[in-house]
Structure 1
Amino acid sequence: MTRFPLVGSLFLAVGFLSGNLPAVAEPLVGIASVVDGDTIEIHGQRIRFNGIDAPESAQICSDASGRKYRCGQRASLALAELLKAHRPTSCVEVDRDRYSRIVAVCTAGGIDIGEWVVKQGYALDWPKYSAGFYARAEREARTAKRGMWAGSFDKPWVWRKDH
């Protein structure tokens, strides 16, 4: 899914006319294994989804009844089910993080994985990195009380800071 199709098309047209076409990264494609709710591995490469943040595996949330559960683990399991049902996974690198992991937009079966995880309530739009790209998916999950939105939780970036 292209975020700015008109801008991208204009950029390529200008590049074509000037003879300076940018190098386009080849997608990394393969069977993904889940590291956590916002990180996968393909062919030994760690890939973090661009613009989202999922709870850590040790993070505890409360469900609608106030019962505690490992929301990071639940996010990982849901992601694993999605990726098992829609193979292969394809990721296009957009950046590298401070740990040198690939930061990418990934799809599986035509589904934007970052958007899906946020829409299911297993991750949040991370405005610091997303420019609000997944904000609509987050609002949809919050309104429907899906995943973490059914109960209470700390935002993953706040939880990490405190732990």
Structure 2
Amino acid sequence: MPLSPLTRARWLRRFRSFLALLLLAGLAWGVWTWMPPPATIAPLTHVIDGDSLAVRRGAEQVTIRLTGLDAVEYRQDCGSEDGGRWPCGREARSALESIAGRGPLYCELTAKDIYRRTLAACRTQPFPDGVDLGAEMVRQGWAVATDDAYLIEEAEARAGRRGIWRGRFSRPADWRAAHERPAGTIASPDA
């Protein structure tokens, strides 16, 4: 039995309303999934080295390893243009202390590494404001980029001969491999 024109018009309006609701739900879902995760506010306890920080989360202290970069190790020295050596690892830690300030930091936590450190991207202010600590460490020349995130900053530092780029240095991963500590040994950066 064919539908009357009035009934057909009602069904067509309902169908259009249903499609509009589906479209709005899809847009809401898309916006929600594209938004960055909320940043965790992390009171800074102290800077460990050029890419690691200790922060307070509730009653516990958590070690955060910045993602996208590899800073020279605290005990690492670099070569200067005149053939001498300088404590680039200590200067990298000082640079991160200066950039991070007194905190708090706004960190997007991503995962844990094999050393049980929390991996995160941290800023001095909530996104999109403030300074991205990783980007600034690479831009100032205290770290190398480990993925595509900071390649432009690394190129700027290299061209400007800033930080470790002003002389000779071993890449941090190579330096760690050559100065490996015995398994189970955890020492402070001052050791």
TM-score w.r.t. length of structure 1: 0.80
Among candidates 88, 95, 100, match of residue 78 of structure 1: 95
Distance of 1:151 and 1:70 partners within structure 2:
12
* Contact 2:41-2:104 within 8 A present in 1 as well: no
- The alpha carbon displacement at 1:161 in A equals 1.0
Distance of 1:135 and 1:42 partners within structure 2:
27
Partner of 2:173: 157
- The alpha carbon displacement at 1:141 in A equals 0.1
Q: Which amino acid in structure 2 is aligned with residue 55 of structure 1? A: V
Among candidates 77, 84, 104, match of residue 88 of structure 1: 104
SS of residue in 2 equivalent to 1:154: coil
- The alpha carbon displacement at 1:31 in A equals 2.6
Partner of 1:30: 43
Partner of 1:10: none
Partner of 2:67: 50
Distance of 2:55 and 2:150 partners within structure 1:
23
SS of residue in 1 equivalent to 2:90: helix
**Unaligned stretches of 5+ in structure 1?**
1-12
Q: Highest CA radius of gyration, 1 or 2?
A: 2
- The alpha carbon displacement at 1:17 in A equals 4.1
CA deviation vs aligned residue, 1:74-106 (integer Å, no higher than 9, x gap)? 10011111222x632111111211111100000
CA deviation vs aligned residue, 1:30-64 (integer Å, no higher than 9, x gap)? 13410000000111110000011011111110123
Partner of 1:113: 133
- The alpha carbon displacement at 1:15 in A equals 8.7
TM-score w.r.t. length of structure 2: 0.69
Change (3 A) 1:42 1:67: same
Distance of 2:48 and 2:161 partners within structure 1:
25
Q: Which runs of 4+ in 1 moved over 6 A?
A: none
- The alpha carbon displacement at 1:155 in A equals 0.3
Distance of 2:144 and 2:96 partners within structure 1:
14
Q: Does residue 103 in structure 1 map to residue 123 in structure 2? A: no
Structure 1 segment 125-136 matched on structure 2, within 5 A: 125-126=145-146, 130=147, 132-136=148-152
CA RMSD of aligned residues (A): 2.4
Distance of 2:84 and 2:135 partners within structure 1:
27
Distance of 1:14 and 1:32 partners within structure 2:
42
- The alpha carbon displacement at 1:29 in A equals 2.2
SS of residue in 2 equivalent to 1:66: coil
* Contact 1:32-1:88 within 8 A present in 2 as well: no
Distance of 1:97 and 1:137 partners within structure 2:
24
